[in-house]
Amino acid sequence: MDIRGTDTPLLDWTGDAIALGLFENETALTGELSQLDEKIGKIITELIEETEFEGKSGSSAVTRIGGNSPIRKLMIIGLGKRDELSLDTVRLGAATVARLGKKEKVKTLAIQFPVVNEDKGATSAAIAEGMILSLHQDNRFKSEPEDKPLKLETVDILGVGEQTEAINRAQTVCSGVILARELVAAPANAVTPVTFAQTAQELAKDYSLDIEILEKEECEERGMGAFLGVAQASDLPPKFIHLTYKPSGTPKRKLAIVGKSLTFDSGGLNIKGAGSGIETMKMDMGGGGATLGAAKAIGQLKPDVEVHFVCAATENMISGRAMHPGDILTASNGKTIEVNNTDAEGRLTLADALVFAEQLEVDAIVDLATLTGACVVALGGDISGLWSTDETLIEEIKTASEAAGEKFWAMPMEEKYFEGLKSPIADMKNTGPRPGGSITAALFLKQFIKETPWAHLDIAGPVWADKEHGVNNCGATGFPVRTLVNWVLNQ
């Protein structure tokens, strides 16, 4: 699928289908649209009337244009209210167009959408993202793909000029999102700590990133007792992955992105019971998957910011070597942890990963983790929790996420709740009481950061979609690669 911007006037465009974006309660056609309507025998007016189309966000209608029209099909796409227009409106509208185009077996398509904030580049990029991400289908594990190959060959975004750079950029970002989706969707017998590390190695090779993979012995030397405690029951070796993107000149800033990378979470001896969703726990490397996805995009986009990508990859398994509930582990910063629940393993792996990231002397650290079911209870499936003690970092992530169309909600870092993690025998326990479970998890992580501005993203909800929605298809979403990339690029 070739996506390109053009200044070909609407009335001159010819091809299989044309998609027109219309605002809510503004379906009376004017200007070019009314001229096009006249040209094709009032088909647009007819379609609007027939389908009682009001332009509501998410709505759409399609019709064939008969006669000898140079355009075969017409789609109208509701974009919601004009004053609520955003890049995400356009992105979601484009996803609707893409799905209709696929269903209608369209080969050549034109999209005429309003430009957001007079930014033709950003608008074109959002359209490209909406189309690419909604059309992405993972057939890797099917012996026969269910759906027929996509017919869509060319998409012309009308009225934006060429926009080659913006569209290429969007394609690059999407390649990172798709890598994250594929890593998350792959089962735990395909994505293991070993294959996950291989993927990181391939990225390093393809995009000239530096890579360091600490094997178990090196993790031992560094005293990563928390990470290794989680890893000890697995038959597979843990891999502590550190990828670095370095710009050619002097970096403006140095950042670290740290992703929870549990290729499977059985819960350990506090095993996940029936109805716990244990069979979905291949997604527990969602943070690491998005970290590698971001590395893939950033390695190609080449901003003048140094970025470290850190993934402590392992499985949380059971065996005679497994951590016992109640074991005490010592993390690489010397803090001791009483493991009162082996299923709160993500924070143990992150503890050592955060200590490692801070030793890199970066200006800011963001961790992302499918950390708690409690966060899903609090914010549902579409919104990630965001914790930080640094107001600037909160603002940066909010700005990055709004442009990306990925949702975050700032949550309280309520120090008082750390009381729930007090241990009579060690420096802390790894779990507190059920209420506020996502907050105590964030407070636990905070023990492993000294002074670097740091944000924690609990992405347990949005890494996975139960049904097709917006740019996401059912399954892995690639959340929050787009936010991470924007964050780095905005520095």
Q: Of 16, 345, 352, 358, which lies in the binding site for ligand BES, with binding defined by CB under 6 A?
A: 345
CA distances from 172 to 144, 166, 292 (A): 28, 10, 13
Nearer to ligand BES, 371 or 386 (CB): 371
For residue 269 the two structure tokens come to: 């001896």
The listed partner (Mn ion, ligand BES, Zn ion, none) that binds 341, CB under 5 to 8 Å by sort, is ligand BES
DSSP state of 84: G
Distance CA 41, CA 83 (A): 31
Site map (CB under 5 A) of Zn ion, residues 275-304, x = contact:
---------x--------------------
For residue 23 the two structure tokens come to: 């605002």
Distance CA 10, CA 159 (A): 8
* Sole residue written with tokens 């560094």: 222
Size of the site for ligand BES (CB under 6 A): 17
Binding to ligand BES by residue 341, rule CB under 6 A? yes
Q: Where are the alpha helices (DSSP H) in 337-427?
A: 346-359, 373-379, 391-404
Q: In what order do the strands lie in the sheet with 336-338?
A: 328-330, 336-338, 428-429
Binding to ligand BES by residue 90, rule CB under 6 A? no
Site map (CB under 6 A) of ligand BES, residues 448-477, x = contact:
------------x-----------------
Output the smallest distance, CB 265 to Mn ion, in A: 4
Output the smallest distance, CB 51 to ligand BES, in A: 39
Identity at 480, one-letter amino acid code: P
CB 172 within 8 A of CB 302: no
The beta strand positions in 300-393, using DSSP E, are 306-316, 328-330, 336-338, 364-369, 383-388
| Active-site choice (347, 407, 429, 482) | 347
Nearer to ligand BES, 238 or 346 (CB): 346
How would you class 454 by CB atoms within 10 Å of its CB: exposed for 0-12, middle for 13-18, buried for 19 or more?
buried
For residue 53 the two structure tokens come to: 């189309």
| Active-site choice (272, 335, 398, 446) | 272
Q: Of 238, 346, 462, 475, which lies in the binding site for Zn ion, with binding defined by CB under 5 A?
A: 346
Longest dimension (CA), the chain: 83
Nearer to ligand BES, 269 or 344 (CB): 344
Binding to ligand BES by residue 338, rule CB under 6 A? no
- List binders of ligand BES among 425-444 (CB under 6 A): 431, 437
* Sole residue written with tokens 């979601």: 92
Output the smallest distance, CB 374 to ligand BES, in A: 6
Output the smallest distance, CB 117 to Mn ion, in A: 42
Closest residue to Mn ion: CB criterion: 343
The beta strand positions in 190-271, using DSSP E, are 210-214, 239-245, 254-265
Identity at 339, one-letter amino acid code: V
Q: Of 129, 265, 315, 352, which lies in the binding site for ligand BES, with binding defined by CB under 6 A?
A: 265
260 is catalytic: no
How many residues comprise the chain? 491
Identity at 120, one-letter amino acid code: K
Nearer to Zn ion, 262 or 393 (CB): 262
347 is catalytic: yes
Nearer to Mn ion, 37 or 265 (CB): 265
For residue 132 the two structure tokens come to: 């690419």
The pair phi, psi for residue 316, each rounded to 5°, is -105, 100
- List binders of ligand BES among 347-406 (CB under 6 A): 370-374, 376
Nearer to ligand BES, 184 or 197 (CB): 184
Nearer to ligand BES, 100 or 459 (CB): 459
The listed partner (ligand BES, Mn ion, Zn ion, none) that binds 374, CB under 5 to 8 Å by sort, is ligand BES
For residue 250, the Cα-to-chain-centroid distance in whole angstroms is 29
Q: Of 129, 156, 265, 306, which lies in the binding site for Zn ion, with binding defined by CB under 5 A?
A: 265
Nearer to Zn ion, 27 or 270 (CB): 270
CB 258 within 8 A of CB 353: yes
Distance CA 372, CA 344 (A): 8
Residues that bind ligand BES (CB under 6 A): 265, 277, 284, 341, 343-346, 370-374, 376, 431, 437, 460
Which residues sit at the interface with Zn ion, rule CB under 5 A?
A: 262, 265, 284, 346
Active site residues: 272, 347
